[in-house]
Structure formats: C-alpha cells, structure tokens
A and B are shown apart, each in its own frame.
Chain A
C-alpha cells in the first residue's frame, strides 16, 4: 500500500512542477490565477498523501481547511482583477477587464 501512496506522491509532485511552469510562463493573468488555484489543490493532495505516507492521517482535516482557504483566495484574486477592490459587487461605468 505504501508503494501506491509513494507513486501518487511522485505524480502529484510532477503535476506541481508543471503548474509551476505554467504560472511562471503563463502569458495572461488568468493562466496565472488558474495555476495558483490548481497549485493550491495539489498542495492539499500532497498534504493528505504525506499524512498517509508517514502513517498519521490526522493531517486530513488540515488539508480540508487548505482547500477552503484556496477557494477563498482564488475568489478574492478574481474579484480584484474584475473590480479593483474587494467590496465591488455592483455594475460601474469604470469597470474593465485587463
């Protein structure tokens, strides 16, 4: 069983590398936001896998909280690219995508 977890960890680490390349190279803003979001997901998976690899699955709730925080962070970044601040919800004339 440890072999399976080790293989999964290796795969996740490779995925993290690929996401990292996309976030550095990525031409548009949205490539980078997506890269950060999916890097956070990979972190969650890595923490969960490492918990099982080292025989202490108690890290699992920590991974869940990471997932929540990752979601909130992405929403905040998206709102900033759209409105320029966190409070902007309504339609405005000056609003623009860049």
Chain B
C-alpha cells in the first residue's frame, strides 16, 4: 500500500513540475510550487524523514511562496514569449546532466540500508547514549537541539538574517511610504 502511495506521489510531482514549466501565468506557477513543496513534504514523511518534511513544508510551502508572491507584486505576472522558443542545445545539456546524476545514484547505498556509511560513524553513539546523556524521547530532536545545538543556532541565525534582508529589499520602500503618509495624515488631523 505504501509503495503505491509512493508511486502516486512521485507521479504527482512529475505532473506538477511539467505544469510549472508549461504555464505562462506566473501566479499559477507560484501556487503550483506551493503544491510541489507540500507533495515533497508528504513524500519525506512517508520515507520517515519527519524533520526534513517539516522544514520543507515551512520553508518551501510557506516562506518561498510568500517571497515569490512578493516578487510578483513588483513585476509582471505573465511570462514573456521570447523565452518560449524550443532550443535543442539546452535540452541536450539538461538530459546529459540528468543522466550523469542518475548514474551517480547507482553508487549510493540503498534506501534504508543499515550498512550505509552514514549509519556507521556517530549514529550508534547517539542511539545508545541519548537516553542517559540528554533524556529526550525523540532522538532526532536530541541530535538537533543538543548534540548539534550550536550548529542549529547558527542555521537559525542565517535563515532569520536572510529572511529579514529579503523582506526589507522587497517591501521596505512601501512600508516606509505608508508610515510617512500616515504621519502626514496625523499632522493634518491635529491642525
């Protein structure tokens, strides 16, 4: 049953990706990108990567959709037809790169393989000692918030700074204008 769900979700992903490329209405493309993130988030959940799924849903479906919409508010929401022509050379380049990437996955360990190198390094230590050293029932939470606490802290700072910067670049001017107008209205109201 779960395999069928996997297959259907992957088919949906491919359909959405093709639709994003084909659509000329950029607002619709942004909405479809939100759906794409939700689909990948549910795929990650089905594959037991719950924390990755959560990040994908928050960043992909939440923040990126809003940032894309903010960008659309500044530009046209219709794609220019000059990017519409079919070109053979980019197609060959993309197909070749994809083939190389798929070829590279053959060397990777199988999904869920306990002998994979990533499960041999420090993972056994976490599995054995999380309960004594941290005392948090969820092992992923213990690794993220305690063993790699400084790392997570740094990541959060980077994401927050980037978010504030982009928001200021996209919406700062309009907010300043609004405050200026409101102050002017207040002054006029007082006099």
- Answer yes or no: do A and B interact: yes
- Using A53-B1, A62-B50 as known contacts, say yes or no to A73 and B34 having CB atoms under 8 A apart: yes
Contact B38 A40 (CB under 8 A): yes
Contact B45 A24 (CB under 8 A): no
Contact A6 B1 (CB under 8 A): yes
- Using A32-B28, A47-B45 as known contacts, say yes or no to A73 and B61 having CB atoms under 8 A apart: yes
In the complex, what residues of B have CB within 8 A of residue A13's CB?
A: 5, 8
- Using A17-B12, A54-B2, A69-B61 as known contacts, say yes or no to A87 and B19 having CB atoms under 8 A apart: no
Contact A73 B46 (CB under 8 A): no
Q: Which of B52-60, B87-95, B111-119, B156-164 is the contact stretch?
A: B52-60
Q: How many residues of A contact B (CB 8 A)?
A: 38
In whole angstroms, what is the CA distance A72 to B65 when docked?
Answer: 12
Interface of A is mostly: helix
In the complex, what residues of B have CB within 8 A of residue A84's CB?
A: 73, 174
In the complex, what residues of B have CB within 8 A of residue A46's CB?
A: 5, 42
In whole angstroms, what is the CA distance A66 to B27 when docked?
Answer: 23
Interface residue B62 (Cβ < 8 Å from any Cβ of A):
yes
In whole angstroms, what is the CA distance A16 to B2 when docked?
Answer: 16
Q: How many residues of B contact A (CB 8 A)?
A: 38
- Using A24-B19, A32-B31 as known contacts, say yes or no to A87 and B1 having CB atoms under 8 A apart: no
Task: Please name the residue on chain A nearest to B32 by beta carbon.
Answer: A23
**Chain B contacts with A in 171-185, Cβ cutoff 8 A:** 171, 174-175, 178
**Chain B contacts with A in 17-56, Cβ cutoff 8 A:** 19, 23, 27-28, 31-32, 34-35, 38-39, 41-42, 45-46, 50, 53-54
6 A–B contact pairs at CB < 8 A? A24-B15, A32-B28, A32-B31, A35-B31, A36-B38, A62-B53
Residues of A within 8 A of B (CB): 6, 9, 13, 16-17, 20, 23-24, 26, 29, 32-33, 35-36, 39-40, 43, 46-47, 50, 53-54, 59, 62, 65-66, 69-70, 72-73, 76-77, 80, 84-87, 90
Residues of B within 8 A of A (CB): 1-2, 5, 8, 12, 15-16, 19, 23, 27-28, 31-32, 34-35, 38-39, 41-42, 45-46, 50, 53-54, 57-58, 61-62, 65-66, 69-70, 73, 170-171, 174-175, 178
Sample of 6 further A-B pairs with CB below 8 A, known A6-B1, A26-B28, A53-B2:
A29-B27, A43-B39, A50-B2, A62-B54, A76-B65, A77-B66
